[in-house]
Structure 1
Amino acid sequence: MPGWAVRADRVLGYAAEVPAALLVVAEIGVLFSAVASRYVFHQPIVWADELASILFLWLAMFGAAVAFRRGGHMRMTAFVDKASPRLRSLLDLVAVVAAFVYLLLVAHPAWEFASEERMVTLPALDISNAWRAAALPVGMALLAAMAGVRLLAFQDRRLLLAAVAAVGAVVGSLVLLQPVLGELGNLNLLIFFVGIVGALVFAGVPIAFAFGLATFGYLSLATSTPTIVVIGRMDEGMSHLILLAVPLFVFLGLLIEMTSMARAMVQFLANLLGHVRGGLSYVLIGAMYLVSGISGSKAADMAAVAPVLFPEMKQRGAEDGEMVALLSASGAQTETIPPSLVLITVGSVTGISIADLFTGGLLPGAVLAVMLGLVVWWRCRADGRSAAARVGWPQIGRSLLVAAPALALPFVIRAAVVEGVATATEVSTIGIVYSVLMGLLVYRRFDWRRVGPALVETASLSGAILLIIGAATGMAWSLTQSGFSRQLAEAMTQLPGGAAGFVVVSIVAFIVLGSVLEGIPAIVLFGPLLFPIARQLGIHEVQYAMVVVLAMGIGLFAPPFGVGYYAACAISRIHPNVGIRPILGYLVALLAGTALVALLPWISIGFLG
């Protein structure tokens, strides 16, 4: 990049990262203060939720800008990665141009929406809601500036013009066809939400911008709906207070890795089971189960477990492909274990109790862990290389004593929700404070220099997730308003096999959606459409949630399209090709476990009150 572009990019980076990190700290402070004030001092802070909501939208937009600068927005690159270097560069440019065009298109509606919100007064704080809504135009302006700098700084002008021409040709063609599109009715849903979204996603455009462009194009070219509605629905999707748990649990996941809590748990399991044939593979499954119960972030889970276990596994003769395949499969297995970010999203878009989802998610994860363990046993039954010397009970006891504070964290989190100390949103702050205290006082491992980068990383991942939720909410609203949801409901209720046929189709559909869209956007798009159908067919909503989340997890971690699989490979530093064959057996086990969860409702709802 030219010198001016480097300087501009650095300034824009500071303008996004510093406020984003401070906003994460502010959210933790506000929510923990609300818990302490209500439970300890019996004096609720009445304005806490309103202030948290204001800060949250700003955090989402600044976080989205950080993610854009770092290339952290979710995108499907399976086809892009297979292209020639020049074509890959062109597609990467097309992704930036498409995002830039979207940001320009929504700039005026976002400003108009924020201006209209001046009329609304927040009851507790007694200030205009424009203080919150202004985050949308400000964040989009920051994103547009970052995209503009990146495009202007690109050296190969011929390639840049080709990317601009490609995007311009598509946009221009749709504008010229507007009179025709207006006559097509619901056929436009196929054009915009299948054709255009599919083309953009497979071309590597970030999913949030692909959804946003298709929704804006549909509303502006095929309907008479004002485009300000896009911003209104985006604001609605990103404003659920329950989603505040996303950044806080992401930060909690980074904390448990920073404070060595995850390492202590893994070491205890390794001492307990390391002498068993294939014992460290069982430890990997169990460690992912335990860590998922704390962090809620799959990337954080894998990053906490793999560096601890893989060197020892390799020393005992485990193959690279087998290790990365099991890590990826265990990532899919733990999708329902609280505090899963996908379960939080399910609750936010369907209205299902988060406490019920958290309770219902524990046993399905354990069932899939058993299924994976059976595959490990079958593969290791005749292999003595993985066996190691048995660790004595005194050493096991010492490692248990060291791991006890870390092992207690999932129970602290669950007890705080069940006993009414904190809501599902607030409970993450208790986990954060607990982890900080354990890191400072017990484990004596708390690197203050890593706190700033962890806060920025939290904002980046959260912004990427929340922008997808906002864009997908607008897309889901468009589908609902068109009458598609009613037609889908009628078609699904008439499937052969009744409830069983509906569940089978749902599993297949969400495996595909999990591969292409990842879990959260798929849930936001189709959750409001399919969960009412499940209730109508007599399927318990918590059981249905577990089935579709497990199915999405399989798609997310299944090659060749599953993004989670490539994340596991990146964390393990193992080439994706070597894990594809070993993972097939684990995928069969995951499918069998999902089928058990679908067949036996008690697995999901047996412990609900």
Structure 2
Amino acid sequence: MTAVTHPENIPVTASESLVFEKRNGAASLDATLRSLVEIPAALLVLVEVGVLLAGVVARYVFHQPLVWSDELASILFLWLAMLGAVVAFQRGEHMRMTAVIGMVPPPARAFLDVVAIAAALAFLLVVVEPAFEFASEESFITTPALEIPNVWRAAALPVGMGLMILTALLRLAEVGSRRLVLGALGLVAALVAVMVLLQPVLQDLGNLNLLVFFVGVVAAAVFAGVPIAFAFGLATVGYIALTTDTPMLVVVGRMDEGMSHLILLSVPLFVFLGQLIEMTGMAKAMVAFLASLLGHVRGGLSYVLVGAMYLVSGISGSKAADMAAVAPVLFPEMRSRGAKPGDLVALLSATGAQTETIPPSLVLITIGAVTGVSIAALFTGGMLPGVVLGATLCAVVWYRYRGEDLSHVRRASWGEIGRAFVISVPAIALPFLIRAAVVEGVATATEVSTIGIVYAVLAGLLIYRRFDWRRLGPMLIDTAALSGAILLIIGAATGMAWALTQSGFSADLASAMADLPGGAPAFMAISIVAFIILGSVLEGIPAIVLFGPLLFPIARQVGIHEVHYAMVVVLAMGVGLFAPPFGVGYYAACAISRIHPDEGMRPIMGYILALIVGLVVVAAVPWISLGFLG
């Protein structure tokens, strides 16, 4: 064969040169596609801020509400979620667990990396046609305010999925080894074929299929390094296609429902706000003050993280948004002081579970809505359980950092603390401004982040005199990618929750729990275990909608106060939500922190144990939940 010269002047064969040219061509197309998606995704973040802010100003300042603002924000939000998911896919930023594949030899690891792309491609190919069908059916629905066909919103699903399919194909084309690509595609195709051939057997298994798909398939995919969203999606479409007669169109509809809650729009906006806080110097000023107070204490900023999550929890109505508001402020300084990334994301996840009952909590509101329990009573009862779990987390922080070397850290004088406080006042005022805007009715939980964004921009420009316009574009793209990765997980998890509902599993579980011997203590113990497991796959609101109407009457029947039971159930679901390897919240925390999930696996175990201890205390002492009810 004729030899040619590689760009690095290494002689290669003509066939190898052709492969190299194909890879170069695929990489060039990939880069072009990436630019075409990143620009509109970044612009959508800005437009969403403008639309929501316009709604706040029109309603509160001019007393002329824009009836179309929420509707337009909702339409654009699905496009932001899907294009953000595409950007995350292009950048390889969808959350995946590689703890297992990290232990295998490099050749096997490379193969599993290609399998992850092939598995994601398989899921997308299955749902893209139903997504087109779903969008076409939405064309018959007219939006109430703008009076336009709802296809303008729903089209985001097939377009996003189509772009991810194209990205996956380009990524496979960029892989240097054809053998790797064919092997990965062959393995995924073979597994799909085996499951299809086993369909008659699976249809006879009944609810055992829940173990096959939602435990077996999910676990195998997650441990093989398939991104979490696609692992959930594969399990759901496999279960629906092979064991039921339900059309795949319904799965797409449930994904749309999960990703389209307007309250979730606070996720990208708070992510962007967190980046602004860091870029404008507000974070530096705030952390400098906090460090002057607790910097000389071992593990001091970890205590600050626990307290900060307690204070901001519930502002946005989204736990992911709460974490996005806190992590960018504290993590850089904590890293500079020697904190390990794994411990940072582990504590952030644990505080997410700790603060699940802090009002205003969407889960508590949902409980009140579906069970008839007083929401005011739930809000009152939710404060102290979070303190108890926070205390258990602080005990772990004390133990882990008891030997921290602070010889290089000088205790600040009162004068230095005072100066740091004055400088930090505009930054410290931000969380109070956000909470006041919600409490006073100036803005909704979704809109309030826009007030924070405007405040941060003005503080950066006028007070701290620090605003790098060149960073604005990359920040917007990062916001879109991070939000898309989180929202696709939520959409896939919502589809999985719906599949569990249709199986009748929820009713069977409630019946079994009602028949338990041992009365209230046994029912409470089983509830804790059940809701930890449910929280890891369903998240709070879907689980409450499924099981609240069934289990709360049983709790009343065995003598457990509803508010007390609600606190225990919500905290148990929080532990499940933020506990790896299945907890969606843990991967959201990793995405927000930009820390690999593997790094937090070991450190989080101590915090999860502390949360369980606190949960048991809350369950055993009803006064913690009921003491302030009067």
TM over 0.5: same fold? yes
Q: CA deviation at 1:568?
A: 10
1:73 pairs with one of 94, 99, 114: 94
Structure-to-structure mapping, 1:183-262, within 5 angstroms: 183-262=204-283
Letter paired with 2:76: L
8 Å Cα contact 2:130/2:252 also seen in 1: yes
Which residue number corresponds to residue 571 of structure 2?
Answer: 547
Which residue number corresponds to residue 612 of structure 2?
Answer: 591
Which residue number corresponds to residue 328 of structure 1?
Answer: 346
Distance 1:342 1:328 in 2: 24
Structure-to-structure mapping, 1:595-606, within 5 angstroms: 595-600=616-621
Summarize the Cα distance change of 1:507–1:251 in structure 2 as closer, same or farther, 3 Å threshold: farther
8 Å Cα contact 1:114/1:134 also seen in 2: yes
Summarize the Cα distance change of 1:78–1:349 in structure 2 as closer, same or farther, 3 Å threshold: farther
8 Å Cα contact 1:178/1:222 also seen in 2: yes
Task: Please say if 1:125 is aligned against 2:125.
Answer: no
Distance 2:382 2:449 in 1: 17
Distance 1:354 1:31 in 2: 27
Q: CA deviation at 1:300?
A: 6.5
1:296 pairs with one of 321, 328, 348: 321
Per-residue CA distance 1:77-106 (angstroms, 9 max, x = gap): 221211211111111111111111111111
Distance 2:138 2:569 in 1: 35
Which residue number corresponds to residue 4 of structure 2?
Answer: none
1:394 pairs with one of 401, 411, 415: 415
Summarize the Cα distance change of 1:570–1:342 in structure 2 as closer, same or farther, 3 Å threshold: farther
Q: CA deviation at 1:50?
A: 1.3
Letter paired with 2:572: V
Which residue number corresponds to residue 305 of structure 1?
Answer: 330
Distance 2:388 2:117 in 1: 43
8 Å Cα contact 1:285/1:369 also seen in 2: yes
Which residue number corresponds to residue 59 of structure 2?
Answer: 38
Per-residue CA distance 1:481-503 (angstroms, 9 max, x = gap): 22111112222333455554455
Summarize the Cα distance change of 1:574–1:389 in structure 2 as closer, same or farther, 3 Å threshold: farther
Distance 1:338 1:401 in 2: 32
Per-residue CA distance 1:363-417 (angstroms, 9 max, x = gap): 5444344334445556777988559554322221111111122222222111111
Which residue number corresponds to residue 10 of structure 2?
Answer: none
Distance 1:491 1:350 in 2: 24
Which residue number corresponds to residue 17 of structure 1?
Answer: 38
Letter paired with 2:81: A
1:417 pairs with one of 406, 427, 438: 438
Structure-to-structure mapping, 1:84-163, within 5 angstroms: 84-163=105-184
Summarize the Cα distance change of 1:342–1:563 in structure 2 as closer, same or farther, 3 Å threshold: farther
Bigger Cα displacement from structure 2, 352-361 vs 249-258: 352-361
Structure-to-structure mapping, 1:495-534, within 5 angstroms: 495-498=516-519, 500-508=521-529, 522-523=539-540, 526-534=543-551
Q: CA deviation at 1:36?
A: 0.9
- Aligned-pair identity in percent equals 56
8 Å Cα contact 2:377/2:629 also seen in 1: yes
8 Å Cα contact 2:568/2:615 also seen in 1: no
Per-residue CA distance 1:492-520 (angstroms, 9 max, x = gap): 33345555445544544566677xx6x8x
8 Å Cα contact 1:192/1:215 also seen in 2: yes
Per-residue CA distance 1:452-483 (angstroms, 9 max, x = gap): 11211111121112112222222222221221
Summarize the Cα distance change of 1:151–1:180 in structure 2 as closer, same or farther, 3 Å threshold: same
Q: CA deviation at 1:55?
A: 0.3
What's the RMSD between the two structures over aligned residues?
3.9
Summarize the Cα distance change of 1:129–1:290 in structure 2 as closer, same or farther, 3 Å threshold: same
Distance 1:258 1:542 in 2: 40
Distance 2:566 2:103 in 1: 39
Q: CA deviation at 1:119?
A: 0.9
Distance 1:307 1:184 in 2: 51
Structure-to-structure mapping, 1:557-596, within 5 angstroms: 576=599, 580=602, 586-596=607-617
1:480 pairs with one of 501, 508, 529: 501
Q: CA deviation at 1:330?
A: 5.1
Bigger Cα displacement from structure 2, 585-594 vs 102-111: 585-594
1:451 pairs with one of 463, 469, 472: 472
Bigger Cα displacement from structure 2, 501-510 vs 51-60: 501-510
TM-score scaled by length of structure 2? 0.83
Per-residue CA distance 1:296-332 (angstroms, 9 max, x = gap): 3546644432332443x45xxxxx66x9647633541
8 Å Cα contact 2:255/2:491 also seen in 1: yes
Q: CA deviation at 1:197?
A: 2.1
Distance 1:602 1:424 in 2: 30
Distance 2:486 2:358 in 1: 13
Letter paired with 1:308: E
8 Å Cα contact 1:249/1:339 also seen in 2: no
Letter paired with 1:543: M
Secondary structure at the aligned position of 2:139 is classed as helix
Q: CA deviation at 1:215?
A: 1.9
TM-score scaled by length of structure 1? 0.85
Secondary structure at the aligned position of 1:296 is classed as helix
8 Å Cα contact 2:437/2:448 also seen in 1: yes
Bigger Cα displacement from structure 2, 57-66 vs 327-336: 327-336
Q: CA deviation at 1:15?
A: 2.2
Structure-to-structure mapping, 1:165-180, within 5 angstroms: 165-180=186-201
Bigger Cα displacement from structure 2, 12-21 vs 384-393: 384-393
Summarize the Cα distance change of 1:590–1:132 in structure 2 as closer, same or farther, 3 Å threshold: same
Q: CA deviation at 1:284?
A: 5.6
